[in-house]
Chains A and B, each alone.
Chain A
């Protein structure tokens, strides 16, 4: 009887653990890590990190976000949009080789990660307009 009870408790603990594990690592069954990066990243043909970051900030403001923080050295910008929901977004900017800048964005809507490609496509379209440059998919 007690063995049954112990295994039942163990099972309950294990069951309880697995969602935390999944949520910390946000493991996806439909998208690989590489696919996710491709959805969230674009390259721009420029050497100017500061200009790219300022364009990202302007785009986020145009989309109704209020900035949370930004760091030129690390190339990160975080912002929050409140409109009946809370959307948080981090955008990172890093140089890639000569004359290229990789911009990567990841967002969460309330308590769920944004994984669909369409919202990111919309974001990069808005950023293209602010940069006056075309966004290219990352190889």
Chain B
């Protein structure tokens, strides 16, 4: 009786902080973080046009320029969702993984494939134009078919380049090209 009781106590002591930790992560996932405002600034641009559909079309063209395929659109809410699958391995990473695997006698793992997702949301701002907000995220799989990374892409340069392309696209769309 005594050993099983101590095992139970140990399990409770180990599991309590784990469940508390999961609850905290879940709550934080749905709580506005202080950096949310800065993220919004990086991911949003305002355009002069008041034609929301035209801006949505220009965004669609940019996503196609970037090799995305469209998964979902809802023009009435100003939404486009797109994704693409790409290779995620680099030769350097594979060689590194091989040597680590050989040295430690463990299974070699390296990234193989990634799925990059993007959602574009437009919003009418009345006479001051229309805003576009884009967000990117990716999932990465390794050679064992396991998910090795699951992340939002927050690099500001990524967004700057997307909007540079969108500015061009808006002009091209305006001229009907």
What residues make up the interface of A, taking CB atoms closer than 8 Å to B? 50, 53-54, 57-58, 61-72, 79-87, 107, 109, 114, 116, 118-120, 122-123, 125-126, 129
Contact = CB atoms under 8 A, between A and B. Distances in A.
A85 B30 contact: no
Interface size class of B (residues with CB under 8 A): 35 or more
A119 B27 contact: yes
Contact of A66 (B29, B36, B76, B118): B118
A70 B119 CA distance: 11
| 10 interchain residue pairs of minimum CB distance | A67-B119, A122-B31, A123-B30, A72-B76, A82-B150, A69-B72, A70-B74, A122-B30, A119-B30, A126-B32
B26 A114 contact: yes
A120 B26 CA distance: 10
B101 to A, nearest CB: 24
Contacts of B139: 82, 86
B30 A57 contact: no
Interface residue SS majority, chain B = strand
Given A82-B151, A83-B150, A119-B27, A62 B36 contact: yes
Interface of B: 22-23, 25-27, 29-32, 36, 39-40, 43, 71-72, 74, 76-79, 81, 117-119, 121, 123, 133, 135-139, 150-152
Contacts of A120: 30
A69 B74 contact: yes
15 contacts: A57-B79, A62-B36, A64-B29, A66-B81, A66-B119, A66-B137, A66-B152, A67-B81, A71-B74, A83-B150, A87-B29, A116-B23, A119-B29, A122-B32, A125-B31
Interface residue SS majority, chain A = mixed
A64 to B, nearest CB: 5
A138 B43 CA distance: 34
Contact of A64 (B39, B71, B118, B150): B39
A64 B31 contact: no
B81 A84 contact: no
Nearest to B78: A54
Q: Which of A64, A69, A81, A86 has the most CB of B within 10 A?
A: A64
